Structure 1
Amino acid sequence: MDAYLFVHFKEKKTPDGEQVYFALSTDGFHWEQVNGGRPILESVLGEKGVRDHTIVRTDEGRFHILATDLSLANSFHGKYKGDWANIGTGGSKSLSLWSSDDLVNWSEQRLIELGSEDFGCLWAPDIIRDPQKGDYVLHWSSSHASNDYGPKAIYYSRTRDFEHFTEPKLLCRKADSGVIDSAIYEEDGLFYRFLKSEANPETLILEKGSSLTGDDYVRNTAFDEEMAKLEQGVYEAPTAFRLRDGKWCLMLDFYGVEGEGQGYVPFIADSLADGRFIRSDASFSFPYGFKHGTVLGITQSEYERIRAYDWEKLA
């Protein structure tokens, strides 16, 4: 791919922050805002706010954005009484979805209800194509009645058309803590799964497996060593993409301060297999702090189309 699209939200205390924002880059290092830093899409269903965005390009050339149906600005102090635990058990069992053929003309928002009454809130969706089955695995974190809504685990559903989804199944659980914010990538026929561990350690972990939804995943110790150098409990929301030179960039969302200091921090490794991601702030520039999102490789023509589009007509 010739360029990159970052789909994200903004950490603001007003509802306009929890919407869909775009940023663009031609090299993966230097990023520019789209639409003057204003939302590209706005949530009008559910909680009327979205967080934790992901985007996928299907084999048919169609694009889908999915996100957590949650607005702290609208609901945190009212509906949820200022308690994250209330969101975890009583939050939305649906994900928000938009679709497009060209990245500028988007469908109306849909709510995809995936969680049964046994699920808590569905958090942080991500999507990967299964090369063995030719469909798409949508995965997310949630608490569940099976462990009395205790530590969160990762669940998944399969789809071919983003209209019909299979019943959710457990993808993975960590024995000594909850796990959230899963992001899975393929490299040389193997799968690499980033997870935010909520304890032991309270940071990101990286696992390798031979199949997308298999149970043979093992920890990458080199990655553990690098993450141990960071302040614990202040990074989440991994998203990774391949740079033009073949190296991998991992973005981690830093939330350790209030306000302007929040946003993505970049790390670079030679490969996912190597796992030794080195913090590389000096090589990157961002117009503002991007919050929990996903990077998609795009073509030069797609980059130019997004950049030239009159987004103001959406206002």
Structure 2
Amino acid sequence: MQAYLFVHFKEKKTPDGEQVYFGLSTDGFNWKQVNGGEPVLWSKLGEEGVRDHTIVRANNGKFYIFATDLSLANCFQTKYKGDWANIGREGSKCLSMWESEDLVNWSEQKLIELGDEDYGCLWAPDVIYDKANEEYVLHWSSSHASNNFGHKAIYYSRTKDFESFTKPQMLCRKDGSGIIDSAIYEENGSYYRFLKSEIDPAGIILQKGKTLTGEYTRIEAFDVEMAKLGHSAYEAPTAFKLANGQWCLLLDFFGVEGAGQGYVPFVADDIESGRFIRSDESFNFPYGFKHGTVLPITLEEYERIKQFTF
């Protein structure tokens, strides 16, 4: 039996919301807050706020958290003059990173500089292990000077040790639309990539590829299910396999102000079908988890986190 860790932030207008929070579940359906619903890690570097978290279990026995170096509470009205376009072009060229061997004791925060003057803000990192090359692919979305900082694309860097990273390359771009919030999973030798498309369609899409960094094609059955939502305000896909073999996809709904925001669950018998059915009644969250990632953990790890006060 396994459990799950959800690393996320809270959509608050104060600096404490844009920090690292943990949620725990033993079944993937019913979630509990950790540390009394308070942050487990605080950003003290860069903009002193972090969003869009991901976590990976590495082969070296360590865990790594990455996040966007961005604080709306600290910087939106001042540094960025209340304009998201300014963030996209002038935001941080770094990602925040923490590492741990036990999910309880974490290193000091590091800023990993991956972008240069040709990149806008580095948004929403995620990580997948590339078995063929025995290294990790860290991917994120950015605007870029190559199209005058217009529609965002997905870029990636490779690392074997999370200390040195290769020069970024483009992973994918969509004609006529920005794409953000990439999440990639391997299943039965194929790769499945969730993206948020900003135009045509405005919403989440799912693609399938034979190789991690090669060509992908749309899974149309997924488009059919997404069209039933009747709203495009979903982002930040994260997916994981349930104990019964089904796949759970979580999408972050941002279409209202305040407490109505947060993750909405969808379940599919298999990821290849793309038929993710909205399943709110089967899930329970203590509050609206915002843009994060779910990591399968052991029951021993679950108990260790649950009993620790950060």
Partner SS for 2:157: strand
- Which residue matches 2:87? 87
Q: 1:271, 1:122 → 2: CA distance?
A: 31
- Which residue matches 1:266? 265
Q: CA deviation at 1:72?
A: 0.2
Q: Which amino acid aligns with 1:132?
A: A
Q: Map 1:92-103 to 2 at 5 A.
A: 92-103=92-103
Partner SS for 1:204: strand
Q: CA deviation at 1:309?
A: 1.0
Q: 2:9, 2:154 → 1: CA distance?
A: 22
Q: Map 1:267-282 to 2 at 5 A.
A: 267-282=266-281
Partner SS for 2:88: helix
**1:133-156 Cα shifts (integer Å, max 9, x gaps):** 110000000000000000000000
Q: Which amino acid aligns with 2:120?
A: G
**1:233-287 Cα shifts (integer Å, max 9, x gaps):** 3100000000000000000000000000000000000111011000000000000
How high is the sequence identity, in percent, across the aligned residues? 72
Q: CA deviation at 1:176?
A: 2.0
Q: 1:127, 1:276 → 2: CA distance?
A: 24
Q: 1:294, 1:70 → 2: CA distance?
A: 17
Q: Map 1:1-315 to 2 at 5 A.
A: 2-214=2-214, 216-311=215-310
Once superposed, which parts of structure 1, at least 4 consecutive aligned residues long, lie more than 6 Å away? none
Q: 1:29, 1:103 → 2: CA distance?
A: 21
Partner SS for 1:88: helix
Q: 2:247, 2:38 → 1: CA distance?
A: 29
Partner SS for 1:53: strand
Q: CA RMSD in A?
A: 0.6
Runs of at least 5 residues in structure 2 that lack an aligned partner in the other structure: none
Q: 1:85, 1:201 → 2: CA distance?
A: 21
Q: 1:275, 1:35 → 2: CA distance?
A: 35
**1:91-140 Cα shifts (integer Å, max 9, x gaps):** 00000000000000000000000001100000000000001111000000
TM-score (norm 2): 0.99
Q: 2:219, 2:231 → 1: CA distance?
A: 18
Q: Which amino acid aligns with 1:126?
A: D
Q: Which amino acid aligns with 1:212?
A: L
Q: Which amino acid aligns with 1:309?
A: F
Q: Which amino acid aligns with 2:222?
A: F
Runs of at least 5 residues in structure 1 that lack an aligned partner in the other structure: none
Q: 1:310, 1:222 → 2: CA distance?
A: 44
Q: CA deviation at 1:231?
A: 2.8
Q: 1:88, 1:72 → 2: CA distance?
A: 13
TM-score (norm 1): 0.98
Q: 1:252, 1:41 → 2: CA distance?
A: 23
